[in-house]
Structure 1
């Protein structure tokens, strides 16, 4: 579906999209906003390819201001590098627009017989631009991304500041210098990108909060991804923990989803829990499930690896969310212990 390091001399692509060609040795842009793309992705797919020149951020910002590249657009990068300052400026624009970064190469015209390399490469300045994505998909297949490393000293001050602003731990890049590798770049695979926090594959970190509310132990688990905000709460009560889940997907989608719902359930470790017929409501922008979770089963919450909330329609399709909770084990246990103690005191 893509081509590597295409220069600005490629012809424009006729896909009900716009190719904003640049001069040689400049970053070129292809905006795919045809009906099929928008029906599947809901946002344009924007391909940036070629060297990143110093003026590239200005051209990109102009397309943002014109509305051609709206908030949340998918950005596909394929560049051998270029100006580091321009790469970071692009990254800041991506973050400003809550955009999603991937590696990928431009679409070819339908029926084209051109033979091109379909693997994308994103190196140096391009890698810095990639880190600006609010959601960042790890390189897959034969696509490759190369992050600059600084073996002998800290990253330059402006780079270090940029990484902090993007929420990237500079140690994830600097640590590679200890290997003594001759290559001045880090070329991580998908698993390494996730482990180092360089990619998040469409979701931000899970936020777990334990506190007292209404003089009772309260647990909140919240995670944002590119489809919306997802939240699970437990409020400890003598008769059972009040369980509420929120799948915040927008007012219209929430109402449409609830209107189609014939079955809903909470999920622990991919096992259906507390099922009900219908059982979902639309509240503001969210699909909401409410249940009373039995206190004698609350240990399952403390030891869970994953939780979620789902609804099904009459065709069997399900809609909802799930997230891994193994990384917040201490918070889960703190809530369970406090709830157990509180219920014992009331018994």
Structure 2
């Protein structure tokens, strides 16, 4: 067993480079504009360095960007598990083209966030550690077989090694069928996962809201849609519902992550097809029940019709950042979604 663990620890895909960069950066003074960049080789001790940064200096933001050609697989799995344990999301991005300090570290300011990057070989397994995982079309996520320099991988060791990797993928909520794509490539090749494959194999996290469903209530109907990804700080709404009462259309948003109180009315936010729809300031009311907050937003019948016909819409209320910022739900409705919204607004609940 000890020999296997040593072997597993030295599996690699690239020769060692200069020390890997770990940097916490913010594009502004908002929590959601902050991130950690890990750029370079996945090298032994990288998990301890990240832990030290988090525990000693503190880290702002909830996303870790990765830009790496690979490295030590044992460290990659350790780092991926630590990222999951700490509740961070992962994305791919680097510092190419970003201005530098005199010491060579990138300067992230304003809109100059991470540039497109690559996450290959061992890095792909770090990426899997994110609670939520994001991959843009400009980024590269690469998989291939691993190797131990100067060693031949025997059948028994290869079988145990493959089982450990598959178990890790299952642990991280990734479809282990992706392992077959990696296994089909030799150690010098690289298979780059396409966006549809990343979605099919659960390498990336679906975000936004699921399809609407109808619920009968009294003599009417309520159309509701649940959020697919977990709510986050400053993005705490996890369900939107729409209904009509006494001829008046309403939106009801549920927030499970919030700092709201009934005294805070908020400013209404309502857009259809990128066109702002004006609502009166008293259109928003809040009810707090323990850890749950409910925002009721009153809209006019013509606005309800516009929303049911829109290609996209967003509705919610804006507050100061100290109590959570904007509480908004947005969706690109399908034709069936539109029919359900129309039914909810036509068949009032009383």
Normalising by structure 1, we get a TM-score of 0.62
Counterparts of 1:89-104 in structure 2, within 5 Å, are 89-104=78-93
Cα contact 1:95–1:133 (8 A) shared by 2: yes
Cα contact 1:82–1:124 (8 A) shared by 2: yes
Counterpart in the other structure of 1:185: 190
Counterpart in the other structure of 1:110: 101
Count of aligned residue pairs for this structure pair: 300
Please state whether the residue corresponding to 1:326 is helix, strand or coil.
coil
Cα offset for 1:145?
Answer: 2.9
Answer yes or no: is 1:158 the counterpart of 2:164. Answer: yes
Counterpart in the other structure of 2:47: 57
Separation of aligned partners in 1, 2:256 and 2:311: 22
With over 3 angstroms needed to count, the CA separation of the structure-2 counterparts of 1:160 and 1:232, relative to structure 1, is same
Counterpart in the other structure of 1:80: 69
Answer yes or no: is 1:210 the counterpart of 2:218. Answer: no
With over 3 angstroms needed to count, the CA separation of the structure-2 counterparts of 1:78 and 1:338, relative to structure 1, is closer
The runs of 5 or more residues in structure 2 that have no matched partner are 1-15, 107-114, 147-158, 320-324
Cα offset for 1:135?
Answer: 3.5
Please state whether the residue corresponding to 1:133 is helix, strand or coil.
coil
Superimposed CA distance per residue, residues 100-127 of structure 1 (whole angstroms, 9 cap, x where no aligned partner): 3233446886235799xx8743211111
Please state whether the residue corresponding to 2:236 is helix, strand or coil.
strand
With over 3 angstroms needed to count, the CA separation of the structure-2 counterparts of 1:110 and 1:83, relative to structure 1, is closer
Answer yes or no: is 1:268 the counterpart of 2:272. Answer: yes
Separation of aligned partners in 2, 1:94 and 1:114: 23
Cα contact 1:27–1:48 (8 A) shared by 2: no
Among 320, 324, 332, the residue aligned to 2:331: 324
Counterpart in the other structure of 1:229: 236
Separation of aligned partners in 1, 2:88 and 2:144: 22
Relative contact order (C-alpha < 8 Å, sep 6+): which is higher? 2
Cα contact 1:77–1:102 (8 A) shared by 2: yes
Normalising by structure 2, we get a TM-score of 0.61
Separation of aligned partners in 2, 1:289 and 1:140: 37
Separation of aligned partners in 2, 1:27 and 1:113: 13
Separation of aligned partners in 2, 1:311 and 1:122: 38
Counterpart in the other structure of 1:30: 22
Decide which structure has greater strand share: 1
Please state whether the residue corresponding to 2:102 is helix, strand or coil.
coil
Cα offset for 1:129?
Answer: 1.0
With over 3 angstroms needed to count, the CA separation of the structure-2 counterparts of 1:323 and 1:88, relative to structure 1, is farther
With over 3 angstroms needed to count, the CA separation of the structure-2 counterparts of 1:160 and 1:217, relative to structure 1, is farther
Counterpart in the other structure of 2:175: 169
* Alpha-carbon RMSD: 5.0
Cα offset for 1:308?
Answer: 1.0
Counterpart in the other structure of 1:242: 250
With over 3 angstroms needed to count, the CA separation of the structure-2 counterparts of 1:300 and 1:279, relative to structure 1, is closer
